[in-house]
Chain A
Amino acid sequence: MILYLQLFLTFFQIGLFSIGGGYVAMPLLQSQTVDLHGWLTQAQFIDLITIAEMVPGSMSINSATFIGIKIAGIPGAIVAIVGNILPSFIIMLILAKLYEHYREQRIIRNVLTSVRPIVVAAILTAALILLEFAVGTFRQPNIFAIIVFLLAYMMLSSKRIPMGPVPVLGIGAAIGIAKLGIVYLLEAGIVVI
């Protein structure tokens, strides 16, 4: 019971403070589920983001489902999702009512745009934590991961052949599998350098 309450409150907070959409939920998810509750390891967290990136639907709903199921099965997923969308549901109903009456809420918009730089800084922070985890530190760099990272960044921001996240993730998976295959072949002595 306490677990359900924890799930609900955690995702309620994530829903309430993810101002500016999907990716904003990520730094919150990281601090709440990895650092605070220890529901996921850093490796599982980055896998979760990978999965959330590959399937339809928003980051926060996908994460709520994934974590909810892991912690407390399907009921856990439902509790996490309801907790996650309840704050926006309440706020959207209020905004919708206001809209039907006034058709303008400049103050709300001003206030919410004012936190935008904080939110962007939070996403960058989360990205750097993911990067550190994926490619290692200056002392122990993972050369393979650094090459994949640079390749992926180039593919994602290339203007000539714009690639979405899903195909680039596919390429990353293929490289990872190919690398393991080569290692096996070398170990078995089938291929000799």
Chain B
Amino acid sequence: MITEVKKGKPEVNVKFFLRLFWETFTLSMSAFGGGFVIVSLMRKKMVAKLGWIDQDEMMDFVIIAQSAPGSASVNVAMIVGYHLARTPGALVATLGTVLPPMIIVSIISIIYAVLQHNVWVEAAFSGMRPVVAAIVLQVSWKFFKPFLKAKAIPAILLFIISFALLYVMKISMITLILVMLALSTTANLLDMRRRKRRMEEDV
């Protein structure tokens, strides 16, 4: 490759912020399919094209973005922006990522409000409803498959119990998550303490 990629963080100035906004804006504009598509496009742009971030850092960012709540695409933009230019960078990158879907959906929802009772539009949506159910069902299968592949028995059990609680007993997902977060945090902290103590004993 002849094209020279300048490595390392760029200089932070007004021009940089405009550039950051433009790069995240165009990225978000072209990312149909949400989440993971935009993450891989972001990697291509920030690492290969612009050279602002190195490959390893980008991998870490993606993992962190996926472990935090919220959509992965916005989270990656936030952490990339923060890495390049602290909080202002995070704000600019977030704005660039959020603005395109906001504009597009605003236009569509106004059209939808006008046309939703048109018989042809209704017909199109009636054909798409079963498709959406299929899409979401397939997504849940895609998420579930790794548990089966890894033969993660505890995860599968937790899945079955949560499904029963959510679908049959109609318990809220937030309650379940809060209980699990509390249990898991306690278990992890106890485990860390135990490990520390063992290390001290070894010394």
With contacts A53-B132, A173-B124, A177-B124 known, is A25 near B102, CB below 8 A?
Answer: no
**How many contacts between A and B, using CB within 8 angstroms?**
333
Contact call A96/B79, Cβ cutoff below 8 A = yes
With contacts A31-B172, A111-B184, A118-B176 known, is A172 near B159, CB below 8 A?
Answer: no
Any chain A CB within 8 A of the CB of B40? Answer: no
CB contact list, B69-127 vs A, under 8 A: 69-75, 78-79, 82-83, 87, 90, 94, 98, 100-102, 104-106, 108-110, 112-113, 116, 119-120, 123-127
A110's nearest neighbour on chain B, judged by CB, is: B188
In the docked arrangement, what's the CA distance between A88 and B16, Å?
24
A120's nearest neighbour on chain B, judged by CB, is: B143
A156: which B residues are within 8 A, CB to CB? 134-135, 138
Range of interface residues on B (Cβ < 8 Å) = 35 or more
Any chain A CB within 8 A of the CB of B136? Answer: yes
Contact call B109/A70, Cβ cutoff below 8 A = yes
With contacts A81-B102, A92-B82 known, is A23 near B127, CB below 8 A?
Answer: no
A66: which B residues are within 8 A, CB to CB? 105, 108-109
A19: which B residues are within 8 A, CB to CB? 68-69, 177
Range of interface residues on A (Cβ < 8 Å) = 35 or more
Residues 106-140 of chain A, each 1 if its beta carbon lies under 8 Å from chain B, else 0: 01111111111111111111111011011100000
A26's nearest neighbour on chain B, judged by CB, is: B136
In the docked arrangement, what's the CA distance between A84 and B105, Å?
15
Contact call B127/A177, Cβ cutoff below 8 A = yes
CB contact list, B21-60 vs A, under 8 A: 28-36, 38, 60
Residues 152-193 of chain A, each 1 if its beta carbon lies under 8 Å from chain B, else 0: 110011000000111011011111110110000000000000
Any chain B CB within 8 A of the CB of A72? Answer: no
Any chain A CB within 8 A of the CB of B12? Answer: no
Contact call A65/B124, Cβ cutoff below 8 A = no
- Give chain B's interface residues, CB within 8 Å of chain A: 28-36, 38, 60, 63-75, 78-79, 82-83, 87, 90, 94, 98, 100-102, 104-106, 108-110, 112-113, 116, 119-120, 123-141, 143-144, 147, 155-156, 158-160, 162-163, 166-167, 172-174, 176-177, 180-181, 183-185, 188-189, 192
- Give chain A's interface residues, CB within 8 Å of chain B: 13, 15-23, 25-28, 31, 44, 46-47, 49-62, 65-66, 69-70, 74, 77, 81, 84-85, 87-89, 91-93, 95-96, 99-100, 103, 105, 107-128, 130-131, 133-135, 145-146, 148-149, 152-153, 156-157, 164-166, 168-169, 171-177, 179-180
